[in-house]
Structure 1
């Protein structure tokens, strides 16, 4: 393996393998009295659960990335930032709105100072484009930059956008389904799990959708984030729905926060409308949907718009599909969920216009953009949907300049806390956004 493939990484090697010149050896596991601690994921495991023959141990927690054991060692080379910068660095020709420009400048300053910062922006605010100036300046400084997301879908959507925006910069894409081998690059896009492979690599690391599963509240991934950043490096968190942990960081002033309550096109978020659909599950068992649901979906299709229909559980998909096949015989659609082996292909077909709509679980709640769509949730009162998930789902609508006012309708059996919270949060953000539209100073 080339020496550069060890830069800023921890690469597993046999403990008996001869060390190459210029490569450091790092331990894999710390053995304590009754437990072992993995140096890759920081997970503590009882010796009995991580035992191997002949007094050896392994970490069962991160085994999907390759088994870390006392039979191994890590090879590591400190990040040397050996990059050749080719001008122009930023090849994106778009233009930011005044509000986006303000946020972009704050992000750039924070990245230059290597601070811990948060961009709290509504869904569809154009967070990706607001990163471009800061990334470009970091590349020009010769820094190594990482962009990580909890979801493969988001990485796959970011990669072509970044390739177009930084056409002269080498960009690596890393995720669990990646077939291409790893290569050293100045800009790396990866899933947050892939951060477990890095060690003091990035001068600036960007975590997109920081509140999303599985990153939120995952101690190993939080540890991986800190390990992947250089000791004097910076981190930028992006989210539309910060969780309690981030809010505590903001309150304690350990995190610099920038707000943007308006989307890039200057329009407010589509307001969530809540409609009652009593007994929809009983109808579904007879391969039927409530008439008001069918009528609304037909209206959307008649207007020439596409839509996403969210349902609570994977088990609901087949029943909803069967009911829809009776009423929508001439329209093209598919179901999709997290374990669907064709998930990525179906999402791409929706982007390409090969489907009129998708029926989905919450797997598409964030990180994917389809132009001019409406968004519907059947059974939004199901406990599987958190308030933040519902806000993210609602945020799939109204993202394009050509149609910034898409419909968002939640069908429920009864009133519930998470639906009310989602409706209230969108109203709150829209009040903040309206103050900006009216020229009134925005106060937290």
Structure 2
């Protein structure tokens, strides 16, 4: 062992000897544990309750334990009661909120319904007024005076050939716009011919140009009361060249006066092909035995009718529709009545024989209530008895049964 190590050890031993000695035997022993003693309701020196007197509440460990459980139970019940109260309060609040929302929603729906009803009512009122005004305008346009005024610019060019049939060119001479417009109608076009029923349009010329005027007027809804007759080749040349220049120099028959014919010829000669528009009437071929008819497609020229004559396809309800029956047994009498009605702006749907030919008086049967068309026809014919007999049929507004009191050709 080295000297330094021995020196350090002697110092440590000296330090230990200098410390005070510890008396191990004098250290106190730990105290014995104490436990709570069991308490009894009866203690020495305590007075006992008399018999029948209420006992004092017990005190002690078990009593305090039971009271602690009761307190916990009470506190738990209080918490449950508070929670139940909070839930009920929230439910009431939610119900109140839902009620307010439903009331607001109901008010909103009611307001929206009122607005929608107001808008619909206003639209219906505006529509009713517009329809009423349109109907009044259509009635004024379809009045005999307006129809005759419009007819001053209309002319029916009839191109005929004994071997090739008869074609028609319904033209409008618009001197204001300096133009001529027209629709070409072929011989085989199938339409109502007054006094003959549904026949070829060209067959109407067999009964005379007046019947042709009535046929074309009735079909187009435009009155034509003036005509010129030319040969078929002149007619075809006018269609090919799109010009009526020189046509009136080849007229073979007309109801125009010399001055009217001259003035019309001068107007036609002054216009070049760029101021003339002649369109064919679209037709659909129909084969009936050895005969071929052509069904006119009037709706396909609706734009032309509207632009040139102001006639709207599908608006025929503005014109009085009539069915004419021959109840007198006189040949051609129904056609004569039909032509007179057409010249007054009415639309003849059909002409045929009545169930018998012994009608002494002409009957004018109104199929619609609240109409004065029957009295108007009575004034046109000069005879007849007006009968109001409402019907659900939609063929015609008026049925005319021509009796023996009507005299043909008497205006």
Tell me which interval the TM-score lies in, with the shorter structure as reference length: under 0.3
| TM-score, structure 2 normalization | 0.21
What's the TM-score once normalised by structure 1's chain length? 0.20
More helix by share: 2
Between 1 and 2, higher relative CO (CA 8 Å, sep ≥ 6) is seen in 1
Q: Which has the larger radius of gyration?
A: 2
